[in-house]
Chain A
Amino acid sequence: MLRKTLIAVAIVVGAATPLLAANDVNPQADAKAFKEYFTKRFPKVPLKDFVNGPYSMDEGLRKQWEAIDQFPPYDFAVDKGKQMFATPFKNGKTFADCFPNKGIGIRQNYPYFDTKSGQVISLEYAVNQCLKDNGEKPFDYTKDDMAAVTAYMAFTSRGKPFDIKIPNDPRALAAYQRGKEYFYTRRGQLNFSCASCHVQSPGHRIRTEVLAPAYGITAALPIYRSAWNGMGTTTRRFRTCNSQVRGMPLPGGDEDYRDVEYFLSYVSNGLPISGPGTRP
């Protein structure tokens, strides 16, 4: 069992290594390899279920979740986000003025590569950009207001498939590649890469937590997490994962976080937005 897993991982890593070394970055091939690896390893998990993280991996957890989700604990955040969307800034503008389609049903297009500024823009980054452009104070990246606005935006996008594009711009490919390298690089005193947990060990437990598969892993964010006793954003989840391996969490909006989210969301193209989520 363990052997088999190791071999499968070696194949994924092996397939990725030449791409890491050479200049011919091939995101399409990566996305195909990702899908193949996870669907072969978990043949019983319906494709669209990977976006439910730990629940897609564990029957017992799933039952608990279905019971809790009768009264979803993220509801208050969605309501608050909706309210915030309806409340004008001091200059009279609103969040809706900053986004395509007034910010409704667009979560699946984030992060995107902005050819003007030459960088990856995550949804959280875009929210703070909107605030700054309108003379407002940016939000803390990890919870509260940021979680509420992004929860509302995710909620209005539920079921829409990830549609992340890599424009024909060498800087976009480079950003994707940096994100991929960040994902596979070991770090922290415990020497883990993101892949150690979410590619090598999904479905296994570290202590009592069931690890989510990397395929579709950004679809449910932001999440209400019992362990946090509240909502957390993508930034908060990444920072927690970094801390768990006694690594250095990055500041909100950091380019590495935006790039790794770009990579993870691109290789999950086609999977539906499931956020906001509820987690143990």
Chain B
Amino acid sequence: MKLKKSHFALMVIAGAAAGVILGVNPVSAAASKGEELAFSRAKGNCLTCHEIKGGDAPGNVAPPLSDMKARFPDRKELIAIISDETKRNPQTVMPPFKRNLLLNDQEIEAIVDFLYTR
């Protein structure tokens, strides 16, 4: 009990500190991991095709990813699109990120957290 409390306090402090250092709100720690994954050329590389606010040199093969919470209130739908968009649209050029082992479940969850900030 005692341990848990101090543990919790520590996390709050660490979170706040990280927030100060990185200049982000600590609430969005998962989202910022998602941002890194989405923008990284080695991982999501979403900017190859999508414009996303905050990302450099986007392509325009695909629609801009904006206003995501309003347009995709169902989290499961976003997860499905990123996991394997060919299920929804067999002709799509969007890579099946989960099926082809480009991103795992946790990484996709983090990217969705990030998308909900755009």
Contact B93 A207 (CB under 8 A): no
Report the stretch among B4-12, B28-36, B59-67 that lies at the interface: B59-67
Interface string of A1-41 (1 = CB under 8 A from B): 01000100110010000000000000000000000000000
For residue A39, give the distance in angstroms from its CB to the closest CB of chain B.
21
For residue A259, give the distance in angstroms from its CB to the closest CB of chain B.
23
CA distance A196 to B96 in the complex (A): 14
Q: B49 at the A/B interface (Cβ < 8 Å)?
A: yes
Interface residue tally for chain A (C-beta within 8 Å): 20
Q: Which of B60, B95, B101 makes the CB contact (< 8 A) with A204?
A: B60
Q: Is the interface of B mostly helix, strand, loop or mixed?
A: loop
Most buried by B among A9, A191, A205: A191
Contact B100 A190 (CB under 8 A): yes
CA distance A245 to B57 in the complex (A): 19
Point out the residues of chain B lying under 8 angstroms from A190, CB to CB: 95, 100, 102
CA distance A13 to B60 in the complex (A): 23
For residue B44, give the distance in angstroms from its CB to the closest CB of chain A.
12
Q: Given the known inter-chain contacts A201-B61, A205-B59, A206-B61, please indicate yes or no for A13 contacting B91, CB distance below 8 A.
A: yes
Point out the residues of chain A lying under 8 angstroms from B57, CB to CB: 207-208
Contact A9 B58 (CB under 8 A): no
CA distance A9 to B90 in the complex (A): 12
Contact A204 B91 (CB under 8 A): no
CA distance A10 to B90 in the complex (A): 10
CA distance A148 to B96 in the complex (A): 40
Q: A87 at the A/B interface (Cβ < 8 Å)?
A: no
Chain B: which residue is nearest A1 at the CB level? B63
CA distance A13 to B102 in the complex (A): 27
Q: Is the interface of A mostly helix, strand, loop or mixed?
A: mixed
CA distance A204 to B49 in the complex (A): 9
For residue A88, give the distance in angstroms from its CB to the closest CB of chain B.
48
Point out the residues of chain B lying under 8 angstroms from A196, CB to CB: 93
Q: A197 at the A/B interface (Cβ < 8 Å)?
A: yes
For residue A157, give the distance in angstroms from its CB to the closest CB of chain B.
33
Contact A205 B60 (CB under 8 A): yes
Q: Which of B86, B89, B93, B100 makes the CB contact (< 8 A) with A201?
A: B93
Q: Which of A13, A189, A207 makes the CB contact (< 8 A) with B59?
A: A207
Contact B89 A206 (CB under 8 A): no
Contact A204 B59 (CB under 8 A): yes
Q: Given the known inter-chain contacts A189-B100, A189-B102, please indicate yes or no for A6 contacting B59, CB distance below 8 A.
A: no
Point out the residues of chain B lying under 8 angstroms from A192, CB to CB: 93, 95
Interface string of B55-82 (1 = CB under 8 A from A): 0011111010000000000000000000
Point out the residues of chain A lying under 8 angstroms from B49, CB to CB: 206
Point out the residues of chain A lying under 8 angstroms from B93, CB to CB: 192, 196-197, 200-201
Contact B89 A6 (CB under 8 A): yes
For residue B85, give the distance in angstroms from its CB to the closest CB of chain A.
10
Point out the residues of chain B lying under 8 angstroms from A209, CB to CB: 59
Point out the residues of chain B lying under 8 angstroms from A2, CB to CB: 63
For residue A209, give the distance in angstroms from its CB to the closest CB of chain B.
8
Using a CB–CB cutoff of 8 Å, the interface residues on chain B facing chain A are: 47-49, 57-61, 63, 86, 89, 91, 93, 95-96, 100-102
Since A189-B100, A200-B93, A205-B61 are in contact, a sample of 4 more A-B pairs with Cβ atoms closer than 8 Å, ordered by chain A residue number, is A10-B91, A189-B102, A192-B95, A196-B93
Q: Could you give 14 example pairs across A and B, Cβ below 8 Å?
A: A2-B63, A6-B91, A10-B91, A13-B91, A189-B102, A190-B95, A200-B93, A204-B60, A204-B61, A205-B58, A205-B61, A206-B49, A207-B59, A211-B61
- The 5 A-B pairs of least Cβ separation, nearest first, read A205-B59, A196-B93, A190-B95, A206-B59, A204-B61
